[in-house]
Homo-oligomer: A and B are copies of this chain.
Amino acid sequence: MADLKTPHHPLFLREEELRYSIELMFFAYRDFTAEADTMLASCGLGRAHHRVIYFVGRNPGINVSDLLAILNITKQSLSRVLSHLITDDYICQEQGTTDKRQRLLSLTDKGKTLEHDVTMIQRRRFAQAFKSVSTNDVTGFISVMEAMLDDKTLPLLRRTPMTRMK
């Protein structure tokens, strides 16, 4: 985007564009999470529970260490939500076969249903947003969001066929 640095785009515009992006990030993330939070609250759960359910659903049979690496929280923090989810039968654990110390996590049917319903709310918002813009805009969104990530975050991301197509 070299032209942002040319005289055609004076400095104040660049500054404004960056501040505008910061504000978009704040407001979009807030609106993005609000609806799902409401549904979760009606089940007595919070955003942290959804994250666990989401990534366990995405990685069935994941062990605790790997889940911690994705969530980037302490095991004590995870323990609180995870034991809640196990008690309420959203998640089940089974002992690892090659390494019996591991507890491999999977969603129960109840967990799958909840994951689907909550994530559906967020998918719907993206689907509606994508419908209102061009295909080019969607790939632009994805490119920018990927460029925002830390290097160490990249390996945590499941790349889609679409992204690989580019």
- Which A residues contact B (CB, under 8 angstroms)? 1, 3-4, 13-32, 34, 51, 54, 58, 72, 119, 122-123, 125-150, 153, 156-163
In the complex, what residues of B have CB within 8 A of residue A72's CB?
30
A143 to B132, CA, bound (A): 9
Q: For the complex formed, measure the closest distance between the CB of A133 and the CB atoms of chain B, giving whole angstroms.
A: 5
Bound CA span A137–B120, Å: 26
The reply to whether A157 and B4 form a contact with Cβ atoms under 8 Å apart is no
A89: min CB distance to chain B, Å? 24
| Number of identical monomers bound together in the oligomeric complex | 2
How far, in angstroms, from A64 to B141 measured CA to CA in the complex?
A: 34
Asked whether, in the complex, the Cβ of A162 is within 8 Å of the Cβ of B13, the reply is yes
B119 touches A19 (CB 8 A): yes
Give the CA-CA distance A37 to B147 in the complex, in Å.
20
Task: List B contacts of A4 (CB < 8 A).
Answer: 130, 135
Inter-subunit contact A123/B15 (CB<8 Å): yes
